[in-house]
């Protein structure tokens, strides 16, 4: 469930929405593949050694995460090279909850998408807590349209931005133009509109992706 925190700064009420998945051992993972399931292992115990310490074993593309170019492009950049100006930025949440299959160019053209926008695609995926093998995705002509429009980032509420597309053309159309991809967002309680996005990846050298804690801020 999306968390909501209200912070009053001066005369301004700032609402912070947590749009991240909770990382836990039994969380939803892509195609229910066990090798993608995270594992939190306690390695020191306070009653034995005076402190608690744990180790997290996690696939970089599990839960709410950001893709780096290296995810699908052999010589692409890695996650530590992501421009942080694209990670803390104004964004637009676009409602596509009426769709049952994919988000296409035709559907995107109905929205007000401009150059340098960061858009988040809200679909029926946000209303499922189990993995749906028929999740709503962004098809290749939609990705090409976003590439041509010149957006700086796109997020979606599924664990993959594409579904069974040969050659990963949606990923390649976006990442080849340095368009940031966020996957695994939780947008069930988020209304269509404009927000500030904060979604910072780990500074992980050589990573082809990274978990993020994604939040929306509305003033």
Task: Give a yes or no: residue 170 inside a domain.
Answer: yes
Task: Give a yes or no: residue 189 inside a domain.
Answer: yes
Question: Which stretches of 83-151 are assigned E, i.e. beta strand?
Answer: 88-95, 102-103, 118-122, 137-138
Q: How far apart are CA 6 and CA 70, in angstroms?
A: 37
Domain containing residue 18: CATH number: 3.50.30.50
CA distances from 173 to 110, 147, 181 (A): 21, 7, 11
pLDDT tier at 5 (50, 70, 90 boundaries)?
Answer: low
How confident is the model over 162-197, as pLDDT tens digits? 998 889 999 999 999 999 999 999 999 999 999 999
Task: Give a yes or no: residue 47 inside a domain.
Answer: no
pLDDT tier at 91 (50, 70, 90 boundaries)?
Answer: very high
Task: Give a yes or no: residue 190 inside a domain.
Answer: yes
In the chain, what are the helix, strand and coil shares in percent, each to the nearest 5? 20, 35, 45
CA distances from 180 to 4, 32, 71, 200 (A): 25, 25, 12, 11
Count of domains observed in the chain = 1
Q: Answer for the pair 207, 95: CB distance below 8 angstroms, yes or no.
A: no
Q: How far apart are CA 66 and CA 170, in angstroms?
A: 15
Task: Give a yes or no: residue 64 inside a domain.
Answer: yes
Q: How far apart are CA 197 and CA 195, in angstroms?
A: 6
Task: Give a yes or no: residue 148 inside a domain.
Answer: yes
Whole domain around residue 139: which residue ranges? 3-32+60-218
How confident is the model over 17-74, as pLDDT tens digits? 999 999 999 999 999 999 999 999 999 999 999 999 999 999 999 999 999 999 999 9
Span 145-174, average pLDDT: 96
Task: Give a yes or no: residue 55 inside a domain.
Answer: no
**Burial, 124: exposed, middle or buried (Cβ in 10 Å; 0-12, 13-18, 19+)?**
middle
How confident is the model over 39-48, as pLDDT tens digits? 999 999 999 9
Residue holding tokens 């401009």? 114
Task: Give a yes or no: residue 41 inside a domain.
Answer: no
């Amino acid at each position: 469930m999306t968390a909501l925190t209200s912070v009053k700064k001066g005369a301004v009420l700032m609402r912070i929405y947590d749009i991240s998945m909770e990382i836990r051992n039994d969380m939803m993972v892509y195609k229910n593949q066990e090798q993608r399931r995270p594992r939190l292992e306690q390695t020191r115990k306070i009653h034995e050694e005076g402190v608690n310490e744990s180790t997290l074993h996690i696939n970089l593309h599990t839960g709410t995460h950001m893709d780096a170019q290296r995810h699908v492009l052999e010589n692409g950049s890695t996650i530590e090279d992501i421009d942080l100006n694209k990670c803390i930025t104004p964004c637009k949440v676009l409602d596509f909850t009426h769709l049952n299959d994919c988000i296409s160019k035709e559907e995107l053209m109905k929205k007000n998408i401009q150059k340098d926008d960061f858009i988040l695609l809200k679909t029926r995926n946000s209303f499922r807590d189990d993995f749906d093998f028929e999740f709503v995705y962004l098809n290749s002509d939609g990705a090409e349209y976003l590439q041509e429009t010149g957006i700086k980032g796109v997020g979606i509420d599924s664990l993959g931005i594409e579904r069974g597309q040969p050659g990963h053309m949606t990923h390649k159309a976006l990442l080849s133009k340095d368009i940031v991809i966020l996957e695994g967002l939780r947008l069930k309680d988020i209304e269509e509109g404009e927000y500030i996005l904060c979604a910072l990846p780990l500074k992980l050298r050589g990573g082809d992706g990274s978990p993020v804690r994604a939040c929306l801020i509305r003033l």
